[in-house]
Amino acid sequence: MSREEEPRKTDAEGARETPTDSEPVESGKLARPGDLLPGILHVLPLANRPFFPAQMVPLVVDREPWQRTVEAAVKSGNSYVGLVLIRGDDPQAAGPGDFYTMGTASRIHKVVQVEDKLQLFVEGMQRFGIDSWVTRERPFAVHAQYFPETGYKDVPELKAYTVAVINTIKELLPLNPLYGEELKYFLNRFGPDDPARLADFAASLTTSDKPELQEVLEKTHIRERMEKVLVLLKKEVEVARAQMQIHKHVEESMEKRQREFLLREQMKAIQKELGIAKDDRTAEIEKFRARLKDLTLPEEAQKRIDEEMEKISVLEVGSPEYGVTRNYLDWLTQLPWGKYSKDNLDLKNARKILDRDHDGLADVKERIIEFLAVGSMKGEIAGSILLLVGPPGVGKTSIGRSIAQALGRKFYRFSLGGMRDEAEIKGHRRTYIGAMPGKFLQAIKDVGVANPVIMLDEVDKIGASYQGDPASALLEVLDPEQNREFLDHYLDVRFDLSKVLFVSTANQLDTIPAPLLDRTEIIRLSGYIASEKMAIAQHHLVPRQIEKAGLKSRQLKIEIAALREVIERYAREAGVRSLEKRLGQIARKAVVKILNGAKPPVRVGVKNLEEYLGKPLFRPEKPQAGVGVVTGLAWTPMGGATLDIEATRVHESTRGFKLTGQLGDVMKESAEIAYSYISSHCRDYGARADYFEKAFVHLHVPAGATPKDGPSAGITMATALLSLARGGKIVRPLAMTGEITLTGQVLPIGGIREKAIAARRAKITELILPEANRGDFEELPAHIRRGLKAHFANHYRDVARIVFPKNK
């Protein structure tokens, strides 16, 4: 057999080398394009996936960095270029170290420049490995080692792999039609009996990631390559099936919706033909008319609704005016015109509810019962505005809710704190986009009756701005003579609010405008004494906090002595809000102990209280005693407090008077008046007449960091100066409050209840009050007055007689 007829040596497990252009081709044989490949090959980087032999696709590269490489490949005479995958994602930044070691030698058939890109039509010819680098800068060139494919005939094992690959590709064809187009293109160029080309083609079909595809490219042994390709194809089949299932599910869902939509439209058309169904406008109008059947509308409102009904019946459904009119009619027909809930005027039931919800506050409850009794006598409660005034946490809001429960009325609460726009009260005009009624008509609509209990929280914190003054807008709402014809800007129809019971709350009266205050009945909640706080804690706060913490009552036991300690040393304010927070803190720490293994019940006593609450926040209030030191009584928004006023003589070189303690203007004036009065009447009260002639006196009101103001410390300051001048101190627990004038008159002051509670807390048993406040003191509940001895003074002579009894 001649050399030309000698068959090629094949190896099912390997490949043979192809001669390069520097090696001669056997004589007498026709050289194919793939038989002569350059030994030095210019390379282009690929970022996304490798390029396989037998592929023929357009490749787009950036013109500026790679034009020289393409030109060098074309000018070499054979138009071959090596396409090699890089490890990174940026081809422009790729260097020799970023290239994989194997790529595909490809022939460039055509180069087209499109703006700043080059479009190359390339055909993959053969695998090659990078033997070494000729140039390590662009244009890159390498010494190539080729791995040509041989003929694989009559190899049963490869035939089995070929059949497996073809069958797997057949599984892919129904799942994605694009696979069919690519398969046709492959079969036009190659046959199914070429396992090498088939394996490369199958790998190029998959959407595997680039390391897996590069691994296929680097497999020079055909069997290993076929095994790897089969794995990737199986994965691709699973992914394609999942995508097909998702697509099918989405299509079914869309078809179902479209079918339902078509059926509904057909049903509407049929119903319309039969006169069963109505269009949107007719349905809306009938809905509005149905709402009006059970309502008793005034003539003005009925006329307005009829006009709007006529308007909406001729408007186009899609027009903006239709939407505005529809919303307006929706509001008009949802208001409870003439609908009232029946009042429960049983006083025993009301007292039972008040006692159930609140401990203490006996005077406040009595005042509310009196209010309800008057309503019971009249047969209705209308035109009333209550104002509950007191420190935070004394139960103002909960009392309002209890009043609603006692009357059997609906309850609605909203806060006025920080409100700056009068439209919140009286509504927006309908000319504005998004206009709506004010808070009051919103409340009436929500509760569904025209006589609810509406609570206006924080009425003392209303603001004012360029958008109006909400406090002034409230005047119409809270005036019994005006609110029967309340006019909301949005509704533009008068609505009767006279049956509404308004309950407002405030911490202080100073910031409430006088005209608004004049329209309310004031009920003061001054705060709780220790015994009342104890009852509230036992009956309400402790059970509530145990429940909030997820505990059972048997799992946490707080001793009475520990509760008393919490009240006196950790939560001394007038209300019980801080007390509830402290009890919640104890409950949370008890939960932690139980979860850490402690055996319930967890017991909290005085000895271990600091483990739960830390160091006490308050020290026991012990009045100071000494020459020039007198205890006064003060009112604060948090309740009453004792105030030790100190006076001392600094030197005698010159006369002077100094004030410290961050005092307000009114309090400074009281101090000046007290100094002037005592200086001019020293002899009358047993002191040297010339004591203040050369004395520089300093008067201080602790604590210096707390601002203080008000006239009620006048007699206390005067007594401190007199004690300094006499050189005598007050030895018994005595406190006083009252305003003094230059003639020594003692004028009345406010906050008697809070000051009496503060005195009891400090264990002071003797008080000096202005004679004009005798009635206020005698009106205090017996449990507050118990143990207190009150002296009443018209003139400072009465004060001096009580403080220094030997000087009559």
**Residues recognised as catalytic:** 712, 755
Element spanning 735, H or E: strand 734-736
With H, G, I as helix, E, B as strand and everything else as coil, classify residue 604: strand
d(CA 13, CA 196): 11
Burial class from Cβ neighbours inside 10 Å (0-12, 13-18, 19+) for residue 461 reads middle
CB neighbour list of residue 103: distance below 8 Å, 6 or more residues apart: 43, 46, 50, 51, 82, 83, 84, 85, 127, 128, 130, 217
d(CA 275, CA 279): 11
With H, G, I as helix, E, B as strand and everything else as coil, classify residue 494: strand
Tokens read off for 727: 């050189």
Q: How many residues are recorded in the chain?
A: 808
Element spanning 324, H or E: helix 320-334
Instruction: Decide: 495 and 486 in contact? Cβ < 8 Å.
Output: yes
Residue 298 CA from chain centroid, whole number: 43
Query: Any long-range contacts for 649-653 (C-beta under 8 Å, 24+ apart)?
Result: 649/695, 649/696, 649/697, 649/698, 649/724, 650/696, 650/697, 650/698, 651/696, 652/694, 652/695, 652/696, 653/694, 653/696
Residue recorded with tokens 């007055």? 785
Write the single-letter amino acid at 157.
Answer: E
- DSSP for 521-574 reads EEEE-----HHHHHHHIIIIIHHHHHHHTT--GGGEEE-HHHHHHHHHHT--SS
d(CA 139, CA 43): 8
- The residues facing 791 across adjacent strands are 768
Tokens read off for 342: 């029946």
Q: Please count the CA atoms within 13 angstroms of the CA of 352 that sit on its side-chain side.
A: 7
CB neighbour list of residue 13: distance below 8 Å, 6 or more residues apart: 221, 222, 223
- The residues facing 696 across adjacent strands are 651, 656
d(CA 623, CA 632): 9
Backbone angles phi, psi at 30, to 5 degrees: -80, 125
In angstroms, the Cα distances linking 441 to 160, 423, 444, 451 are 84, 12, 5, 12
Alpha helices by DSSP H, listed for 115-221, are 156-172, 177-189, 195-205, 210-217
d(CA 261, CA 17): 67
- The residues facing 642 across adjacent strands are 633
In angstroms, the Cα distances linking 804 to 427, 785, 800 are 64, 24, 6
